[in-house]
Structure 1
C-alpha cells in the first residue's frame, strides 16, 4: 500500500523525534512520527537538563511546565574520589551568570512533547525497514514499513537511535563504536524523603562511577558506569532482577547510603546499556544529509553520557533543524524543485551543527576516559589534575551553547 504525506516523516519517538516534530509544528510544518514500539518508551528514569536544553525547551513552549514538575534547581556539581578521599565542589550557580540544571524524568519530558503535538502525529507499531529517494516530482522521499506500507513525503528525518535504519541504511553513516563501558540507570523512591543535597554528585571507586541527582524531595535519579561490560551482559541487560543484583555487586564497597538506592528502585525504571559513541572523524568525514533525508540525536552523533548532553543536544538539533527548514521553505513551495529546496535546508542544518557535534562527542569521550579510568596513571590525572585545577567555567562550558529561537512563518 502506498500513501502520500504533505510533510516530513520522522523515524523514532524518542527525545529527538518528538522534539523535532514539535519544533516543526511550531513553525507550521507537518510531520508524521513513526515509532516501532506500542507506546512511548521512557526507560532510564531521568536525565540532567542543562541551560542549553532549557533554551530549546523554551522555544518549544514546554519549559515552564517541566520546571513546575521538577522543582529542584541543582546548586553544585561534586566530584568525590573515594579512592583518594578527595572532593571537589563546583558551584553551578556561581559559574559565569549561573546555569540552570534540573533532573527531569524522561517519561515526563516525552509526555510533555507528545501532548503538545497535534492528534495522530505519532503512529505506533510502525517499524521502518528502509528509506529511498522518490521518483515523484512532488514527494522526494519514500519510507517503507515492515507491513509493506510505503509513505511518500517531502523528506525523512532519522531519530531512530544508535541502530538507526535511516543514518546507517540510507545515509551510510558508520555505526557507533563501543566505549568499552556499560551504564546502569534507575530511579529510587524514598517514602519519607531522601534528604539529599540539591547537587549532582559523582563518586569514583575501583573503576566504578556512581552518580545521583534529586528529581524532587522523594525521588532520586542514579547511574552507575563500569568498564568493561560484564561477559554475560546480553543476559543481564534483559533481566531487571539481574540488573539489580549486578548493580548491588558493583556498589559493595561504597558507603551504605549509596548502596541503599538499589533496594529503593523499582525494577521498571532500571536500564542497562553498553555506552556507544561516534568518533569525531566519522562525523567530519561523512555527510549527515543526502537529498531530502537527514538525522538528529543519537542517530547521527551518539556520545557517552559523561557531559550529560545526549538528550540536551537532541533538543538543540530539533530547534536548529526546524529553523533551517522554515527559513528555507517559507514561501518557496514548488513541486518542480521542492526536493532541492529541502536539500538546501538540510545542508544548512548540518553545516551549522557539525562542529558542535564534534566538540560534544570528543569532550564526552575524553571526560569519560579520565573519570572512569582505573589504571594508576589515569587515576593520578583525575585526582591530582582534573579534580584540583579545573575551573567552573571549564566544567560547564558545554551548557553555554544557544540553539536560538524558532521563527514565525506561514505554514507550507
Structure 2
C-alpha cells in the first residue's frame, strides 16, 4: 500500500509513522520549507502516550516531556478538588511542540518528507488517487490523508463549504520562557472571572510555559503583552503571589503567541473512497480541553490500524469514519459542558469528567498491541 499524507504537523507525522509501521510506503508533503510547529507547550494524555508506546517511540517522547497534572485553582489560590475522579484522570505529559515534531520527523524518516510542497488537488480513480502538488508534480497512491489542520486544503475539496470558523470572542495568549529571576515552585492552573483561565507549568528543561485564555472577550486593544496582562488580573486576587503577571511581564513581546480560536464545524463525512481527514482538519475545536493533539494522534492510530488490516481501502476508510464521527460528537458534548460551566468548581468537575472518559474509553480499534509493530 502507498499513502500520501498532507501536513507534517504532529498528526501528519504520527499518521505517516503509524502507516509505515503497518507496512505502507508513505510520502508526507508539507507546504512549509522546514519542519516547524505553531504554538508552544502541548499536553499529551495517557491515550496518546499509549499510541506512541505501540509505535515504539514512547520512551523517546517521555524523554522530551515533563510529567504534569491538570488540577485547577480559583483566583484566591484554593484547589478546586474533584474527589470523584482519581489522580490518573489528571496526569499528562507536557512537551514542546517543536521538539515533538522533530522527534516524529526523525522517526518517520526525513527522506519520506517533501518540504516546500503544498497540496493543490486530488483526483480519485477506481484503484488509486492522484494528488497534484504545488511544484507541479503528481503523486499516485492507494490513499490520501489530509492532516493539514483547521484550514485544511484537503477538506476544502472533500467537504466543500466547511471553512474554519471563529469561536467568537475566544482568544489565547501563551509563551515558553526561561524561569530566570522568577521562582516557580509549583504548577498552577487558574479559573478566574470574566471568562478567563490560565496559569503556568514548568517544563522538563527548566523553562516555564504560561498561558491565558478568555471566552467572550471584549474587542482587543493594546499589544499582545498588554492584552495578556489585562486577562491575568482576573486570575490572581490581590494578595496572591502574582507569578503569572510576573511571567507575562518578563516575556519579550515577540515571544508571545496570540490566537483567535478557530473551530471546524461538524462535518457530514470525513472520507471518500480513497481520501480521509485526520486531526484538526476533521474536528478542530476549542483548545480549552487541551486534548486536540491527543485526539488527533488517536485518529492516526485508528486509521493506520484499519488500513493495515485489509487491502480494501474504501472499506477501511468507511470503518474509520463510522468509528470516529460518533466519538467526536460525544467529545463535542463533553467539551461544551466544560466551556459552559457556570462556576469554576463545575468547570473543574466537567474537565476531569472529560479526561476520565478520554483515557478510559479508547477507540475499540486501539486495544493494546493492535497498532502495527
TM-score (norm 1): 0.79
RMSD (CA atoms): 2.8
Contact 2:301 2:371 in 1 (8 A): no
Q: 1:244 aligns with which of 210, 213, 225?
A: 225
Distance (whole Å) between structure 2 residues aligned to residue 147 and residue 32 of structure 1: 15
What are the Cα deviations for residues 58-94 of structure 1, in whole angstroms up to 9, with x where unaligned? 1222211121222x32245123145xx75413479x7
Match of 1:125 in 2: 116
Report which of the two structures shows the higher radius of gyration computed on alpha carbons. Answer: 1
Q: Distance in 1 between matches of 2:156 and 2:30?
A: 17
Query: Relative to 1, partners in 2 of residues 1:25 and 1:206: Cα closer, same or farther, differing over 3 Å?
Result: same
User: SS in structure 1 opposite 2:81?
Assistant: strand
The 1:103–1:36 alpha-carbon spacing in structure 2 relative to 1, beyond 3 Å, is: same
- SS of the equivalent of 1:258 reads helix
SS at structure 1 position matched to 2:301: helix
Q: Offset at 1:22?
A: 0.4
Residue in 2 aligned with 1:105? 96
* Equivalent position of 2:239 in the other structure: none
Q: Go from structure 1 to structure 2 and tell me whether the alpha carbon gap of 1:392 and 1:293 turns closer, same or farther (over 3 Å shift).
A: closer
Q: Which runs of 5+ in 1 are unaligned?
A: 1-5, 237-241, 330-340, 371-380
Pick aligned residue for 1:157 from 145, 149, 162: 145
Aligned match for 1:196, one of 185, 195, 201: 185
Paired with 1:24 and 1:307, the residues of 2 have a C-alpha distance of: 28
Deviations 1:224-254 (A, max 9, x none): 1124466569xx8xxxxx4234323332455
The Cα shift of 1:192 comes to 6.0
Any conservation in 2 of the 1:179–1:275 contact (CA below 8 Å)? Answer: yes
1:73 is matched with: 67
Distance in 2 (alpha carbons) for counterparts of 1:226 and 1:265: 19
Q: Contact between 2:264 and 2:281, CA under 8 Å: does it hold in 1?
A: no
Please, what TM-score do these two structures have when normalized by structure 2? Answer: 0.87
Answer whether contact 1:50 1:102 (CA < 8 A) is retained. yes
Residue 150 to residue 384, structure 1, CA distance change in 2 (3 Å): closer
Task: Answer yes or no: is 1:35 the counterpart of 2:30.
Answer: yes
- Match for residue 261 of structure 2? 275
Are the aligned partners of 2:17 and 2:107 in contact in 1 as well (CA < 8 Å)?
yes
Q: Distance in 2 between matches of 1:26 and 1:187?
A: 33
**Partner SS state of residue 101, structure 2:** helix
Whole-angstrom CA distance in 2 between matches of 1:112 and 1:25:
16
CA distance in 2, matches of 1:395, 1:323: 24
Tell me, yes or no, if the aligned pair for 1:27 and 1:408 is still in contact at 8 Å: yes
Cα contact 1:86–1:383 (8 A) shared by 2: no
